[in-house]
């Protein structure tokens, strides 16, 4: 499948989602090196949240790993954590 771009119009901006665009990075989870593949936007948010929490990406991923459902993948747990985190931040603004 070729790279498919979908645009969703909102009142303030267009949000573009690239279906096939993923970025693989090496991280250290509790002292063990592993690689995970996420969308570039997720990596950016992960780095921003890490900075807000005064930790690095490895520490935040270890935190998420230690609290995830054992049957869930780490990438899924990271996405869910970030969505939950951003949702809490959004509610604080309202």
Instruction: Report d(CA 70, CA 76) in Å as an integer.
Output: 12
pLDDT over 90 for what percent of the chain? 74
Kindly list the structural domains of the chain, giving each domain's residue range(s) and its CATH number in brackets, ordered by start.
22-93 (1.10.3990.20)
Tell me: the pLDDT tens digits for 29-74?
A: 999 999 999 999 999 999 999 999 999 999 999 999 999 999 999 9
Question: Residue 15: pLDDT above 80?
Answer: no
Q: Is pLDDT larger for residue 4 or for residue 16?
A: 16
| Angle at the Cα of 82 from the Cα atoms of 1 and 3, rounded to 5 degrees | 15
């Amino acid at each position: 499948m070729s790279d498919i771009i979908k645009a969703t119009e909102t009142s303030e901006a267009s949000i573009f989602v690239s279906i096939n665009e993923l970025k693989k990075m090496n991280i250290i989870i509790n002292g063990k090196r592993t690689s995970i593949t996420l969308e570039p936007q997720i990596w950016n948010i992960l780095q921003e949240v890490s900075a807000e929490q005064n930790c690095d990406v490895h520490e935040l991923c270890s935190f998420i790993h230690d609290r995830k459902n054992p049957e869930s993948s780490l990438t899924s747990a990271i996405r869910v954590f970030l969505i939950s985190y951003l949702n809490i931040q959004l509610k604080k603004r309202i």
